[in-house]
Amino acid sequence: MPITYCDQSRTFHLDTVNTTYVIGLSPEGYVGHIYYGDRLFGEVDNSLLRMEEKPFTPSVNPGNKGAFLDCFPMEYPTGGIGDYRESCLDVQGPSGSRGCELLYESHQIFAGKKKIPGLPASFGQEDQVETLEIVCRDQVLGLKAVLSYSVFYKEDIITRSVRVENQGAEALRLTKVYSACLDMDNEEFEYITLQGSWARERHIQKGKVAYGRQSMSSVRGESGHQVHPFMALVTPGTSQKQGRVYGMHFVYSGNFMAQVERSQFDTVRMTMGILSDEFSWKLEPGETFHGPEAVLVYSGEGLGRMTRNLHNFYRNHMIRSSYCHKKRPILINNWEATYFDFDTNKLLDIAREAKEHGIEMLVMDDGWFGERNDDTTSLGDWVVNEKKLPGGLKYLVDQVRALGMEFGIWMEPEMVSPDSRLYREHPDWAVQIPGRTATQGRNQYVLDLSRQDVVDYVFDSICKVLRSADISYVKWDMNRQMSDLGSALLGRDGQQELFHRYILGVYELQERLTAEFPDLLLENCASGGARFDPGMLYYSPQIWCSDDTDAIERLAIQEGTALIYPLSAIGAHVSVCPNHIVGRVTPFETRGHVALAGTFGYELDITKLTEEELSQVSEQTAMYHKYNDLVREGDYYRIASWRENGLYDCWECAAADGSEILVTYVQVIAQPNVRSRKIYLEGFEAQAVYELEGAGHRYTGEQLMKYGFLVPACAGDFVSRLFHFVRIEG
């Protein structure tokens, strides 16, 4: 059994194949965190709670309860009663004052896992996941909090969430509800987070955990380009293969907080949840608030193990789409090819040429509806522009289908342009503050998805488009951050609920869309990669990773993204050079190799490519078919990072059974007068014999992993090589 309770020591043991998490109760019923780390096979006591030490627990030393609360390792700390570290739950009671104290009441352990109403969350069969629910209560408030822990044994993952129920007679106000907390002794921890901006999302950042609080948060209404709802604490010297790693990842697409706090006693508290700024939630008697899920992962074998655990977990227990384990059609998207300047003929020219070279789907991007010839107009008016597409959508789609290709379409359902029929008819449907001219972002407003009538309208508009033609794919875009938080319907008391209610509206829309069109391939996107998070993955098996398609910038973006997400989820395309964003010129081959480590597709005007480039497109589409199973399903190993070494990048996709391994090597900067470079590969069967395809050389797995593999010296910046090893013996 992955979860056990020992009545004598009042401890819960949560085991995965390689890890153990131990929770213990104090005599009063405080729920304490005892241990998270390498798997423990024997009994453990609760001495790590330090209850035998001064200041002792409140039942022994009631006069110094504050000192106890300020150092006890809490599973779910509450605010206002004497724990001065970051709290997870803050509640304003009927008197208006804030204070909450949770004590254990009961627990249950069951096979499987419950859904979280209205929210994306991981799932699993009864033989794949087991759940512990610890029920706690604040007697004064009449508040019940259920701490939920789901143990995914095989993937070494524990997910946490909380639900809070008002069982009292008067309304309560929740001013903070985080999802997870991890209290540990500091071990000179460093933190790893993912930082960035538009066109350079999710770069890996490392820093030493200093005294005080180091927090990463988004208040933009989206998980964001700038920060990411992920944090890991690692011991000094952690590498891909060594070191202890504690990761936390939030299954949520709106405002969040990821924080580590180092205390006066050299403990650390890692917390994650919905950002409490701009959040408060009125909980009437009988009502329940459900917090989003947080994913916890521990690896005692460095970052590589954490990465592979998360990849397996997301592929098997978060992405619901039937496309998750399927090869996706190779698409060509017209955004960088034409921007807004296209018509049916132009799109068909692109489709015809694309088809010739193995591309399987045409995606029509922004600009096909209303009067939209630039970004100043028409969002919300999802009616085809017949000046651009004479004969309508159906005619175009039928023509594309007749070529033997699939068709995909871009939409931005959450937005409205001030210059649109929709806004003129329903100005109150936009998020804005009465009496104040709302700030525009990319000339647009955000629709108030906290309103059911708006959600229903948006859903109907999407359905109308999708039913009007044979459409296989939707790129769901979202191109501005939120501001001017005001909803016409939420009233004075409810305005602080808008951010969260908005995200619940987005989730409802995507839930209904995927239920209504189960075969639809949905790709989420937000001005590039501003909403690349596990919440979105629940609805769409792939997410557009960044508007930056430059192969070299992509190395850093995709390294950071692949640290926690499977390659099958990472939207990646080949585009033209000079690159539209950075102006860099890289070989066509390198652009193909880098996009191969994602969903793979094109974002260019194929009718303008040279004959040589066109023949490379044919080679690349064949390469995609050859390797996609391995890339999509294989184990990912980061071999070298050009961010760290300044010279070259290297990663691998290895079949889980060690039968074949694909190594991608990119020489970013060439050096003069150098010899071949030795790299150590991973994921091979040590005693098996492998052949390097195309070269005929044979190697044992052990040789490649321990002795090293020599990458021949080559000339030129930004050049890349693929090495494909196939097991031939053993």
Active site residues: 477, 547
| Identity at 318, one-letter amino acid code | M
- Residue 274 CA to residue 261 CA, distance in Å, equals 17
Backbone angles phi, psi at 520, to 5 degrees: -70, 135
Name the residue with the smallest CB distance to ligand DGJ: 366
- Among residues 15 and 366, whose Cβ is nearest to ligand DGJ? 366
Query: Coil, strand or helix: which one is 379?
Result: coil
In 3D, which of 178, 135, 180 has the Cα closest to residue 21?
Answer: 180
Does 660 engage in binding with ligand DGJ (CB under 6 A)? no
Q: Shortest Cβ distance from residue 396 to ligand DGJ (Å)?
A: 18
* Residue 34 near residue 24, CB atoms below 8 Å: yes
Q: Shortest Cβ distance from residue 370 to ligand DGJ (Å)?
A: 13
What is the DSSP secondary-structure string of 591-638? HHHHHHTSS-EE-S-GGGS-HHHHHHHHHHHHHHHHHHHHHHHSEEEE
Q: Shortest Cβ distance from residue 102 to ligand DGJ (Å)?
A: 43
Does 32 engage in binding with ligand DGJ (CB under 6 A)? no
Report residue 372 as tokens: 């939209």
Q: Shortest Cβ distance from residue 527 to ligand DGJ (Å)?
A: 5
- Among residues 50 and 531, whose Cβ is nearest to ligand DGJ? 531
Task: Compute how many residues bind ligand DGJ; rule: CB under 6 A.
Answer: 11
| Identity at 233, one-letter amino acid code | L
- Among residues 440 and 703, whose Cβ is nearest to ligand DGJ? 440
Parallel, antiparallel or unpaired: strands 542-544 and 570-571: parallel
Residue from 226, 240, 461, 479 that binds ligand DGJ (CB under 6 A)?
479
- Among residues 240 and 479, whose Cβ is nearest to ligand DGJ? 479
Q: Shortest Cβ distance from residue 584 to ligand DGJ (Å)?
A: 19
- Residue 418 CA to residue 396 CA, distance in Å, equals 29
Does 335 engage in binding with ligand DGJ (CB under 6 A)? yes
In 3D, which of 152, 230, 243 has the Cα closest to residue 193?
Answer: 230
- Among residues 57 and 599, whose Cβ is nearest to ligand DGJ? 599
Query: Coil, strand or helix: which one is 238?
Result: coil
In 3D, which of 399, 430, 393, 387 has the Cα closest to residue 411?
Answer: 393
Residue from 547, 633, 649, 682 that binds ligand DGJ (CB under 6 A)?
547
Question: 10 Å Cβ neighbour count for 646?
Answer: 9
Q: Shortest Cβ distance from residue 340 to ligand DGJ (Å)?
A: 8
Backbone angles phi, psi at 622, to 5 degrees: -65, -40
Positions in 496-525 near ligand DGJ (CB under 6 A): 525
- Residue 256 CA to residue 224 CA, distance in Å, equals 10
- Among residues 155 and 603, whose Cβ is nearest to ligand DGJ? 603
- Among residues 199 and 268, whose Cβ is nearest to ligand DGJ? 199
Site string for ligand DGJ, 291-320 (x = CB under 6 A): ------------------------------
- Among residues 65 and 554, whose Cβ is nearest to ligand DGJ? 554
User: Which residues, in sequence order, are bridge partners of residue 361?
Assistant: 331, 406
- Residue 26 CA to residue 217 CA, distance in Å, equals 32
- Residue 50 CA to residue 52 CA, distance in Å, equals 5
* Residue 336 near residue 575, CB atoms below 8 Å: yes
- The H or E element spanning position 644 is helix 642-645
Positions in 617-646 near ligand DGJ (CB under 6 A): none
Does 572 engage in binding with ligand DGJ (CB under 6 A)? no
- Among residues 570 and 630, whose Cβ is nearest to ligand DGJ? 570
Residue from 477, 548, 553, 605 that binds ligand DGJ (CB under 6 A)?
477
Q: Shortest Cβ distance from residue 58 to ligand DGJ (Å)?
A: 54
- Residue 383 CA to residue 367 CA, distance in Å, equals 11
* Cα–Cα–Cα angle for 140, 70, 181, rounded to 5 degrees: 80
Does 366 engage in binding with ligand DGJ (CB under 6 A)? yes
Residues 6+ apart with CB under 8 A from 234: 189, 190, 191, 192, 243, 244, 245, 246, 303
Q: Shortest Cβ distance from residue 237 to ligand DGJ (Å)?
A: 38
Q: Shortest Cβ distance from residue 343 to ligand DGJ (Å)?
A: 17
Site string for ligand DGJ, 521-540 (x = CB under 6 A): ----x-xx------------
Residue from 76, 178, 544, 725 that binds ligand DGJ (CB under 6 A)?
544
Residue from 410, 539, 588, 651 that binds ligand DGJ (CB under 6 A)?
410
Interface with ligand DGJ by CB under 6 A: which residues?
335, 365-366, 410, 477, 479, 525, 527-528, 544, 547
